[in-house]
């Protein structure tokens, strides 16, 4: 298994543009998580899914952020419109169940100019 | 609310010196504690978890419920230990909270 796959690895965009980050979890993992990593706040949980259903999105910073999981092998995190303060590394992670270890993707480095 | 505090953003030690990365947590129930590590150009990965009570790469961590701490320790630091270390708490319902992270720098 290639592990959790994220794309793109790097994204540079201009303020106001729509950004879509993609994630493919490990096959058989029922939970998928989106995290944001910044120097000031470390790793923050944005949202997580169980069996493709969003369970907790309380970490999503604003309505500009949205996440979907149309099937067990794909999820997207969308920012529309993007702002410079959204610049961060966004990680996707998955696991098999409650209190199991998380498997992280390589992350997407987002820069909003 | 659950919270994880890592008081040091950067910890520099000499090779061969003992290492202690501090982690304190706030949680009213019975938490599951983890240490994750991110080496340069690698993915964030699990280092160890308190329930396993194991030593990984010479690192150990003991859960102290009285002090609400889960400090990561290693008796003799090695250069390859240089990395970013995150303490994490799973309070249940898959809500895993991470600390801000501590960058460990082992000086040759």
The pLDDT assigned to B9 comes to 92
Assign A1 a pLDDT band (cuts: 50, 70, 90). low
A102 neighbourhood in chain B, CB within 8 Å = 36, 44, 46, 96
d(CA A79, CA A65): 5
The verdict on a CB contact (< 8 Å) between A42 and B100 is yes
Higher per-residue confidence, B82 vs A41: B82
Nearest Cα residue in chain A from B9: A39
d(CA B7, CA B22): 7
B32 neighbourhood in chain A, CB within 8 Å = 99
**Mean pLDDT across chain A:** 94
pLDDT at A62 over 90: no
% of chain B beyond a pLDDT of 70: 100
% of chain B beyond a pLDDT of 90: 69
The pLDDT assigned to B53 comes to 74
Whether A84 contacts A113, CB under 8 Å: yes
HEC readout, A32-62? EEEEEEECCCEEEEEEEEECCEEEECCCCCC
d(CA B49, CA B28): 19
Query: B56 Cβ partners below 8 Å, 6+ apart?
Result: B47, B48
d(CA A69, CA A55): 11
CB of A50 less than 8 A from some CB of B? yes
């Amino acid at each position: 298994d290639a592990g959790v796959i994220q794309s793109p690895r790097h994204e540079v965009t201009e303020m106001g543009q729509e950004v879509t980050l993609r994630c493919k979890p490990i096959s058989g993992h029922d939970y998928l998580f989106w995290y944001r990593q910044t120097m000031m706040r470390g790793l923050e949980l944005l949202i997580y899914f169980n069996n493709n259903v969003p369970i907790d999105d309380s970490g999503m910073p604003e309505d500009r952020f949205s996440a979907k999981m149309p099937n067990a092998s794909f999820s997207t995190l969308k920012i529309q419109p993007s702002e410079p303060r959204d610049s961060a590394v966004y990680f996707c992670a998955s696991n098999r169940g409650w209190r199991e270890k998380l498997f992280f993707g390589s992350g997407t480095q987002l820069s909003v100019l | 609310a659950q919270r994880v505090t890592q008081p040091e953003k950067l910890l520099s030690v000499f090779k061969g010196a003992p290492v202690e990365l501090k982690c304190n947590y706030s949680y009213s129930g019975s938490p599951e504690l983890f240490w994750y590590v991110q080496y340069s150009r690698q993915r964030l990965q699990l280092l160890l978890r308190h329930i396993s009570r194991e030593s990984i790469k010479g690192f150990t961590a003991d859960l102290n419920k009285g002090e609400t701490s889960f400090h990561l320790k290693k008796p003799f630091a090695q250069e390859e230990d240089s990395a970013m270390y995150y303490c994490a708490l799973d309070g249940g319902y898959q809500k895993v909270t991470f600390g801000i992270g501590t960058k460990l720098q082992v000086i040759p």
